[in-house]
């Protein structure tokens, strides 16, 4: 279904005054600039920019010193955290912190299950990272030698970020038009639909597009915003098709967790590339979902 006049008007107004992150707008582009393989950008500039937000710096250090990383000694400075964890991990922590703040500060409808959505995004992030590790890289079936439409562009840390943000459009929708969110949610419950199906039936647009458009305003790269945009219809993605399939598969696996032997549901199997070891992927995803990481990070929401 094509977006309705109402949905186009909504999106235009939202993008004119988008939700903001609790740190300087220049930080996200710099985070991705300094983590590129060919980057010559000094990490000192990144540390200085993070330190301008005392709350963000404090929260990043809190996570760095949590049980998630199991440090034997306390990390007391951001510069030390960067040297130990690396800039890619610091990038993930900054985005994690900013996303958590958006969740906490959002004025959401009474029936909006923010805790459930936060937990879901953390699980999808973790599974997406596992899938990217297994499928990508030089020897992976979606590695550099794969056909273009089967080639995975996202690195594991980037897949984690995509998973962490894949459903954030639901939050943007709910805080911008809580009245419409309640109508769509009621349609979902009444008709037994997925939320994206109820959205599409109501106004021809879903939260994936809403989220991707705001994330584009936040200056996240296309290798993240495109898979997020198309994770409910990866076969229609004009670019980053395998990345969208991976994100869709991670989402599906979390909604339909592997059984005791790691077997995946048919929908998840259909999203995985030919030639992959589905049994190994299922076991890896099951182990990931049994891990305590989600519980640890949930306690660190600011």
- Measured distance CA(166)–CA(247) in Å, rounded: 8
Torsion sign over Cα 151, 155, 158, 160: positive
The segment(s) of the chain belonging to CATH 1.10.3210.10 are: 1-19+108-302
Q: How far apart are CA 140 and CA 195, in angstroms?
A: 33
Neighbouring CB atoms inside 10 A of 224's CB total: 26
Q: According to the model, what pLDDT value does residue 37 have?
A: 59
Please list the pLDDT of the chain residue by residue as tens digits (302 residues). 678 899 999 999 999 999 888 887 788 888 888 776 556 666 787 788 888 888 888 888 887 887 777 778 898 999 888 888 888 888 888 888 888 888 888 899 999 999 899 989 999 999 999 999 999 988 899 999 999 889 999 999 999 999 999 999 999 999 999 999 999 999 999 999 999 999 999 999 999 999 999 999 999 999 999 999 999 999 999 999 999 999 999 999 999 999 988 899 999 999 999 999 999 999 999 998 887 454 445 544 54
| d(C-alpha 18, C-alpha 213), whole Å | 10
Q: Give the C-alpha distances (Å, rounded to integers) separating 294 from 64, 115, 174, 209, 245.
A: 15, 12, 24, 26, 23
Architecture of domain 1-19+108-302: Orthogonal Bundle (1.10)
Question: What pLDDT, on the 0 to 100 scale, is given for residue 302?
Answer: 43
């Amino acid at each position: 279904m094509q977006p309705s006049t109402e949905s186009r008007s909504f999106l235009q107004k939202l993008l004119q005054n988008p939700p903001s992150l609790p740190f300087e707008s220049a930080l996200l582009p710099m985070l991705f600039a300094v983590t590129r393989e060919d980057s010559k950008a000094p990490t000192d500039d990144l540390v200085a920019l993070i330190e301008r937000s005392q709350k963000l710096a404090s929260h990043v250090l809190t996570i760095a010193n949590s049980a998630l990383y199991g440090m034997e000694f306390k990390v007391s400075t951001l510069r030390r955290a960067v040297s130990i964890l690396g800039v890619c991990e610091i990038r993930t922590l900054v985005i994690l912190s900013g996303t958590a703040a958006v969740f906490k500060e959002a004025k959401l409808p009474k029936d909006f299950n923010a805790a459930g959505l936060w937990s879901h995004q953390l699980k999808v992030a973790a599974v997406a990272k596992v899938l990217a590790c297994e499928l990508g890289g030089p020897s992976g079936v979606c590695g550099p030698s794969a056909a273009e439409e089967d080639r995975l562009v996202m690195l594991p840390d980037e897949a984690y970020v995509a998973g962490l943000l894949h459903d954030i459009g639901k939050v943007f929708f709910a805080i911008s038009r809580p009245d419409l969110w309640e109508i769509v949610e009621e349609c979902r419950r009444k008709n037994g639909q997925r939320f994206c199906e109820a959205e599409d039936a109501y106004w021809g647009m879903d939260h994936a597009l809403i989220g991707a458009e705001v994330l584009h305003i936040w200056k996240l790269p296309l290798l993240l915003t495109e898979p997020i945009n198309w994770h409910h219809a990866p076969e229609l993605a004009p670019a980053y098709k395998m990345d969208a399939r991976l994100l869709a598969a991670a989402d599906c696996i979390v909604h339909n967790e592997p059984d005791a032997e790691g077997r995946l549901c048919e929908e998840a199997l259909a999203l995985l590339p030919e030639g992959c070891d589905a049994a190994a992927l299922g076991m890896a995803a099951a182990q990931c979902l049994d891990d305590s990481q989600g519980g640890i990070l949930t306690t660190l929401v600011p």
